[in-house]
Amino acid sequence: MRSDEALLLDMLIAARRIQRFTDGMTLNDFNHSEVVQSAVLREIQVIGEAGRRVSDVTRVRYVNVPWAAIAGMRNRIIHEYFNIDLRMVWDTVQQDIPLLIAQLEQIVPADRGDTSD
């Protein structure tokens, strides 16, 4: 079983990958890149799965992190893969991922959060 610290680090790394994968892209670029779409969706799944496994104690401690929304996004991608709204995914990438990174950077120890992939 992974520790909460490891799960939070997994989330941070996945969120940073999403930013890197989409850096400089427009919505149109995203809509026309199956490779980037697939990569982003995979990292959102990682964020959601890791977030789902974080203990209740940690979730209560960091109540500002939108745990339910994170798990919900993962569930939609996994269980409704046939009906993914790319505009919603793009909005998540542009609005929610930067905020999540900022939140996780406050939680993950600095010496762990600088891990490069």
Q: Verify whether residue 74 is a known catalytic residue.
A: yes
Of the residues 17, 32, 74, 76, only one is catalytic, namely 74
Of the residues 20, 79, 87, 112, only one is catalytic, namely 79
Q: Taking a C-beta distance cutoff of 8 angstroms, is the pair 17, 63 a contact? A: no
Q: Verify whether residue 79 is a known catalytic residue.
A: yes
HSE value, Cβ hemisphere, 13 Å, CA-based, for 49: 11
Decide: helix, strand or coil at residue 89.
Answer: helix
Residues catalogued as catalytic: 74, 79
